Structure 1
């Protein structure tokens, strides 16, 4: 399966397994098991979403948004459970207004799930860890 390195954004082909103890990027040699959400821009968005064979969980947010600030540690915490099962990314709608407009983001935070380059699910508003985990599990 193809996965995008969270460090250098290089596409890596790795065998699909139930769990991984080690997986490193062929380009930068950093761990593909790093679950820290990636900050996407207009320039990197399509590359990451289209080239990922695992679901891409996108948090559309803005730094001035109170619920977004509450959601950030939850998003980061839940991402830790899904190494090489889902890719967690963030889009700052304040900076990336073109992306926010393209995807018709009308309220934030908005969580969108993409599979095979297409949006398959969207939820508006902050979620607690259980609801976010359930949303991800339903779309793996």
Structure 2
């Protein structure tokens, strides 16, 4: 039985969850809240590092900014995609205005930019707004 390390979106604790049980609504062993929300998690640099480096689930990241029109127009689609991709992909969003260091570290030149990270390494990236179906297909491809 394989297991995943899932970072709690509420308290940041690492939780070991059997892969076969990810869809069963697992709860955090520390704070007892759900490990999955069905919504993208707005993360700061510390939470981003926890999900990317301590967690073992692939992480889909939307690098965005509040002033960006295409980012705002893609937000509902990203929300829909999160509901479809969890619990097998952690879906997060990084405000590049608030977390400029992350944007710089990952060489984000345009927004929105989606990035899929697994095992702490970038697997792929795509710049530009997409609809929910394309986001889901891109994340699974």
Q: TM-score, normalised by structure 1?
A: 0.93
Q: Figure out how many residues of one structure are paired with residues of the other and give that number.
A: 138
Gaps of 5+ in 2: none
Query: Aligned-pair RMSD on alpha carbons?
Result: 1.3
Deviations 1:39-67 (A, max 9, x none): 12122221221122111000000000000
* Distance of 1:92 and 1:127 partners within structure 2: 18
Instruction: Check the 8 A contact 1:56/1:88 in 2, yes or no.
Output: yes
Gaps of 5+ in 1: none
Which structure features the higher share of helix residues? 2
Q: CA deviation at 1:80?
A: 0.4
Q: CA deviation at 1:124?
A: 0.1
Query: Map of 1:74-113 to 2, 5 A cutoff?
Result: 74-113=77-116
Q: CA deviation at 1:72?
A: 0.8
* Distance of 2:63 and 2:76 partners within structure 1: 14
Structure 1 pair 52/73, CA: closer, same or farther in 2 (3 Å)? Answer: same
Aligned to 2:6: 3
